[in-house]
């Protein structure tokens, strides 16, 4: 009787809370079928699948400790270990869930990945991955740092003059400069930026106008760039400064 009570009082609530957290994480950005397709594509999809694997192992570990606590030989160390693991596990789920919803990393350099991703801070179009690192403000100037990786083919990024951002006060600022390293490319005109396959680069995109002096958030960043023979728009939203 005591063991059955332990099972319902200790194990079941913990597993329910953990499972709901896990399910919410999986269902936060995409449906299950899309997730399964993307997980075998490499890049961001595989990274998210890796997070799911960690979450699953954590779930199994907590369930195992819970079972030992409820049905095993009564030991104080086992009970304490279960409660500590549960607290750490739930905290870890929050961190994993946050990273799952808006990945800051990717497996793109390791695997060829499925095209057409959009996951918060990581966008992939036609073999080029754009990963937003940060946006920072200095006076009336906002500069956004974006890590690029080309897994497709040799390409050229050009015609970026129509790129712009919208801040928290609904002010619009047009792009003033594209920079890689110390090389400035202005508005990214006809010659553009040569971007060979398998190469990486950090693109700095600057916007400057007096209206940005009080900005605290970039509500939307629109990079209108031509690559792979077509004009494309790469969008990031809700970027804190």
Is residue 128 within 8 Å of residue 116, measured between CB atoms? Answer: no
Question: Among 91, 94, 128, which Cα is nearest to 234's?
Answer: 128
Per DSSP bridges, beta strands 217-227 and 230-240 are antiparallel
Is residue 211 within 8 Å of residue 180, measured between CB atoms? Answer: no
Question: Among 159, 173, 163, which Cα is nearest to 214's?
Answer: 173
Indicate the fold that domain 118-240 takes in CATH.
Answer: Immunoglobulin-like (2.60.40)
Distances from the Cα of 137 to the Cαs of 67, 122, 170, 206, in angstroms? 52, 21, 16, 10
How far apart CA 166 and CA 215 sit, in angstroms, is: 10
If DSSP states are collapsed to H, E and C, what string results for 2-71? Answer: HHHHHHHHHHHHHHHHHHHHHHHHHCCCCCHHHHHHHHCCCHHHHHHHHHHHHHHHHHHHHHHHHHHHHH
The half-sphere exposure of 109 on its side-chain side, counting CA atoms within 13 A, is 8
Instruction: Return per-residue pLDDT of the chain as tens, 241 residues.
Output: 555 555 565 566 666 666 665 665 555 544 555 565 556 555 666 777 788 788 778 777 877 777 777 666 667 666 677 777 777 777 777 777 677 766 666 665 555 544 555 556 888 888 888 989 899 999 999 999 999 988 888 999 999 999 999 999 999 999 999 999 889 999 888 888 999 988 889 999 999 999 999 999 999 999 999 998 899 999 998 899 9
Distances from the Cα of 118 to the Cαs of 97, 200, 204, 222, 234, in angstroms? 17, 19, 20, 14, 9
CATH 2.60.40.10 residue spans of the chain: 118-240
How far apart CA 204 and CA 200 sit, in angstroms, is: 13
How far apart CA 26 and CA 73 sit, in angstroms, is: 35
Sort residue 137 into left (φ over 0), alpha (ψ -120 to 50) or beta. beta
């Amino acid at each position: 009787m005591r063991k059955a009570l332990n099972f319902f009082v200790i194990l079941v609530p913990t597993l329910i809370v953990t499972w709901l957290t896990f399910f919410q994480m999986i269902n936060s950005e995409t449906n299950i079928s899309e997730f399964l397709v993307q997980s075998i594509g490499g890049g961001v999809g595989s990274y998210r699948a890796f997070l799911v694997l960690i979450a699953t192992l954590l779930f199994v570990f907590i369930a195992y400790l819970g079972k030992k606590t409820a049905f095993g030989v009564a030991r104080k160390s086992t009970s304490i270990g279960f409660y500590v693991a549960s607290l750490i596990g739930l905290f870890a789920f929050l961190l994993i869930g946050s990273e799952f919803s808006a990945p800051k990393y990717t497996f793109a350099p390791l695997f060829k990945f499925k095209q057409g991703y959009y996951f918060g801070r990581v966008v992939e179009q036609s073999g080029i991955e754009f990963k937003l690192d940060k946006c920072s403000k200095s006076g009336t100037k906002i500069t956004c740092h974006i890590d690029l990786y080309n897994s497709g083919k040799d390409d050229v990024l050009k015609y970026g003059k129509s790129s712009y951002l919208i801040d928290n006060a609904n002010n619009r600022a047009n792009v003033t400069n594209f920079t890689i390293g110390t090389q400035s490319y202005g508005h990214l005109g006809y010659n553009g930026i040569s971007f060979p396959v398998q190469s990486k680069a950090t693109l700095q995109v600057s916007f400057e106008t007096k209206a940005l002096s009080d900005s605290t958030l970039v509500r939307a960043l629109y990079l209108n760039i031509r690559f792979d023979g077509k004009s494309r728009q790469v969008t990031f939203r809700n970027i804190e400064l």
